[in-house]
Chains A and B, each alone.
Chain A
Amino acid sequence: MAGKIKRHLNEIISSVSNNNVILQNTTRTKLILKGLDPNNFNDNSEDDPVVLAKVLAFAKDFNVKLSD
């Protein structure tokens, strides 16, 4: 399976920023400083369970409910 990491990171950015462009950039920066750069993932990125666990933890930190 692939693409879940990118999808979840996008969900976090979209939810936290409420689609405000400035806040999208700030949220992206927060994710990078926490150790995951959304630009390093795309729809074909493998669903690495270690990275996915990080993303789920980030979603919890940001209080974002992911779609699946």
Chain B
Amino acid sequence: MSVQAVYSTNKSVKDAVKELANKIDIQNPKLILFFASSNYQPTELSSEFKNTFKSSEVIGCTTAGEIVSGKMLSNSVVAMVFDKATIGDLKVEVIENLRQNPDVDPAFKNFEIHFGESMGEMDYQKYLGLVLIDGLSGSEEKLMEMIGTRSNLNFVGGSAGDDLKFKQTFVFANGKSYTNAAVLVLLKPLADFDIIKTQSFAVMKDKFTATKVDVEKREVIEFNNMPAIEAYSKAVAKTTENASTEFMTYPFGVMVGDEPFVRSPQQVSGKGIKFYCNIVEGTELTLLRSGDIVEETKNVLAKKIAEVKKISGLINFNCILRTLELQNKNQTEAYGKLFEDIPTIGFSTYGEEYIGHINQTAVMVVFK
């Protein structure tokens, strides 16, 4: 079994893909997964990848920064190459018109036809879904809910970025580029696989019930029956005017046992707070306090390596807010180094997908 991680910082699409191809040792890869800076021309990039790797399935998306074994990068393209002994079979599907009408049913029907098994019968330990989604579509929650109510399989992934320009993000599948779309891939790996979800937060005592929300706008208008920003300001001991400076340090979590599913505030909106993902009315949130991302990720990886002995490949969907925090703390080099000995690719996302849509989290797929 073989998985290879490669990267290029060459600014020319043609030269970058050529450089990647020259670095790849695997003959006739089954799957090529790539993450690229939005500074590459997207249509040209997707087309160049498929033209170069004609016999492989090729998928990817744009990013807000890239990750490869040992490094956090920007303005680059990273790719993971899987041989046939690692990924036995796969099917790629594209869901378009996400904002208007996200519908997973046609994709799921095609998965069933391809694998000859109904989605309901597929074993979550034998199949793994990847999802790459337009990070500016605002439709991640709807899509993940649809996936989650129709299947017990894990679909893991990230929201595409555009280097913090917040204008347009792209997902790629087999030579085409799409916006307002998601790429779903159902893998039937021959290698064992696992999922890591990790976030670096201490759980505080403060509880907030979202008593008035605008779900479509991802906005909480009231917490505990008071203007959301007032309730938040009190908890973080700031005035309502400067409370937003604490958003990255003190986000919220929907607690599932001891595990937070992070909801990150984005901006103040009147007296409400706009989030990076939606919050359903009545949901109880717990205030979180950020910790040491590098230390916590190091511990999680060490635990996983002790469990599986060797990781043959790792895909890291790492929230852009974590990347910004790492940059602020001058820790990007230390974070990249955590993955030095593991064939790794990843990207800084506009949101992470695992069971639902989450923020300030790293979701990783690990191939043993």
Chain A contacts to B: CB under 8 angstroms: 16-17, 22-23, 26, 28-30, 32-37, 61-63
Contact = CB atoms under 8 A, between A and B. Distances in A.
Contacts of A28: 256
Contacts of A29: 256, 261, 355-356
B148 interface: yes
B28 interface: no
Given A30-B148, A61-B149, A35 B355 contact: no
Interface string B294-334: 00000000000000000000000000000000000000000
- Most chain-A CB neighbours within 10 Å: which of B261, B281, B282? B282
B192 interface: no
B284 interface: yes
Per DSSP, chain B at the interface is mixed
Contact of B124 (A23, A30, A34, A35): A23
Contacts of A26: 152, 355
A63 B146 CA distance: 11
A30 B355 contact: yes
Interface string B236-280: 000000000000000000101000010000000000000000001
B283 interface: yes
A18 B281 CA distance: 29
Closest 6 CB pairs of A and B: A35-B280, A33-B356, A61-B149, A30-B148, A29-B256, A62-B149
B117 interface: no
- Most chain-A CB neighbours within 10 Å: which of B145, B149, B254, B355? B149
B282 A30 contact: no
